[in-house]
Amino acid sequence: MSKNKFTMRKYAHLFILFISLLFFNCEKAQKKDTKQKVATTSKMSIVVKHKEVSNLSDLAKTKIKDWNQYNELDEFLKRFIAISPNQALQMANELKGLAKNLNDSLKIETLKSNALKARTNVLENEILRLNDMTLIPAIKAKEVNSQIDKILLIFSSYNAKVNTIYSKKEFDEEINLDDFFKVTTSNSNLIIPKKQKLK
């Protein structure tokens, strides 16, 4: 009988020891998880300075000054130059709407080129990707910051293309291409005597 009591006590002690170890490990894991969450949360709140967007040339600015949807997006994106990941995610939905307005509102014939349309589509897709990040609970600050960099880079590329379109148009207008081709054609009709071979 006493032997059974001793065995039962032994098992009781082992059981208590097991529960204690289990509780201790769970508490330790919980503390570690809390620390990681705090670290992640703090990184999401740190304001990061991103590369500034390439501006439109003075010529391009004058040509599209009345394009309100472009100007609204341009002004809004300036707020992303120095921003925390949390702030960027909070503003992502509004940014998505502005990008869509840009795509839908283009009425300037000079800018209706495939190259610019492609840049508009890529810009809108990357902004949608940023907006989708708001649905990912475990999103990392590094991923959000990287996405902001992509968006600003693409908008810079968009501006550069607008500048190129208008500078080319101005160049074509400054030199009269019709006169240039007339001169070229008339020169091609000149008969140039062949050089005589030396004996």
Q: Which helix (H) or strand (E) holds 49?
A: strand 48-49
Same domain, 147 and 123: yes
pLDDT given at position 4: 56
If asked whether residues 105 and 30 sit together in one domain, one would say no
User: Could you list the mean pLDDT of each consecutive 10-residue stretch along the chain, which spans 199 residues?
Assistant: 58 67 62 49 91 95 96 97 97 97 93 94 97 95 97 97 94 70 56 50
Domain count, the chain: 2
pLDDT value of residue 70? 97
User: Residue 172 and residue 44: Cα distance in Å, rounded?
Assistant: 49
The enclosing domain of 134 has a CATH number of 1.20.120
Domain around 39: 1-44
**Alpha helix stretches (DSSP H) within the chain:** 2-44, 58-63, 68-78, 85-105, 114-132, 141-174, 177-188
Say if residue 40 is in the same domain as residue 52: no
Mark whether 25 and 84 lie in a shared domain: no
**Residue 100 and residue 40 in one domain:** no
Same domain, 121 and 158: yes
- On whether both 84 and 141 belong to a single domain, the answer is yes
Indicate whether 99 belongs to any domain.
yes
Quick one: pLDDT at residue 25?
Answer: 65
**What does the pLDDT read at residue 76?**
97
Q: Are 80 and 152 in contact (CB under 8 A)?
A: yes
- Residues 118 and 138 grouped into a single domain: yes
Do 64 and 14 sit in the same domain of this protein? Answer: no
Residue 194 lies in a domain: no
Tell me, yes or no, whether 55 and 143 share the same domain.
yes
Q: Do 3 and 38 belong together in one domain? A: yes
* Residue 176 Ramachandran class (φ > 0 left, ψ -120 to 50 alpha, else beta): beta
pLDDT of res. 39:
46
